[in-house]
Each structure stands twice: as C-alpha cells, then as structure tokens.
Structure 1
C-alpha cells in the first residue's frame, strides 16, 4: 500500500534533484517554470504559492497551535473562545513573519 506512493515521491525527488543540477538559480520552482513555460506562468505559480499555499499553511499551523494550547490547559482553566482566537491570530502572525520574506 505504501510502495506506490513511495515510488512516486522518490521520482519527484529525483526530478527536483535533476532540475536543481541543470538550472542553478536560487529561486526554486519559479526558475524551473520560467525556463519551461515563460514569464507569465512562472509569475502565476509564484503568486499562488505565496498567497494561497503560504497563507493556508500559516493558518493551519496557527489553528493547530491554538488547539494544542487549549487542550493543554482545558483541565485547569476553561478558556473562552475569544482567547483561543487571539492565540490563533498571534500564532498565525508569528508563523507568517517567520515564513514570509521581509
């Protein structure tokens, strides 16, 4: 059951290794798509990664952080929802500041 997804992951890693050797720029997927398809598709992929995927990742991590903190202290002190939301917003802000370039 895990062999086929593992092989696909291995093939993906080998493709990225080969692309990294052939296209030696430090901008990652943007350089690969720029070389293969041109400027507009590379720009679209860059913005989708930045806005959609990066933002979703930050929000998911912040909610998971807030849930773990909430479950840690639930037996001791009941935490109101607005406090939990504030912790999630602070965690999201921190993650976004860490992940996004300044």
Structure 2
C-alpha cells in the first residue's frame, strides 16, 4: 500500500493502512484527513513491474513510492475522510503537467 498518514487538526498521527495494527482513536469535533503517496509508474526510472512481481528483489530500484496506484486510489476513495496525494512527481521524475493530472 505504501505510505498513508492520518492527520487530525494539523497533528501528525503516524503511518496507517490496511496492514497496520495501529489503533485509530476517533475524537468528536476533530477533522481527520489522510495523506497518501500516489503517482503512476510511467516514468524513466521506474523499473518495477507490479503485475509480474509481488515482492521486492535484487532487481528493484528504490525510486517508486506507490506500487499499485489504481488499487491505492480505490482504497483511498472508499475512506470516510478526505485524502490528499503527495509524491505525485516522484522527486522530479514525472513532469508536473502529467503528475498533477494523474493525482486529480
């Protein structure tokens, strides 16, 4: 799933996600939103094929922050709270006009 953070009234609440065992405490009158790494895999330095590999091996290059973008979008869209995508340009590997369009 990658990195997901829950933010409550501007306070960082740590990594969360479907594989996380962290407790999520709901406080009344608190505004929650999620922050998630999200980008497509069509850029020059992406050398990982998520359709063929399910684990990271020696051929992996540590330059992908979002392994399964479509699954991540589906998961995030089904949360009750709003969410914001980050790392959409993969540290400059994706052009802004392409990365921002994908993130919307």
Higher relative contact order (CA 8 A, sep 6+): 2
Q: TM-score, normalised by structure 2?
A: 0.24
Q: TM-score, normalised by structure 1?
A: 0.24
Higher Cα radius of gyration:
1
The structure carrying a bigger strand percent of its residues is: 2
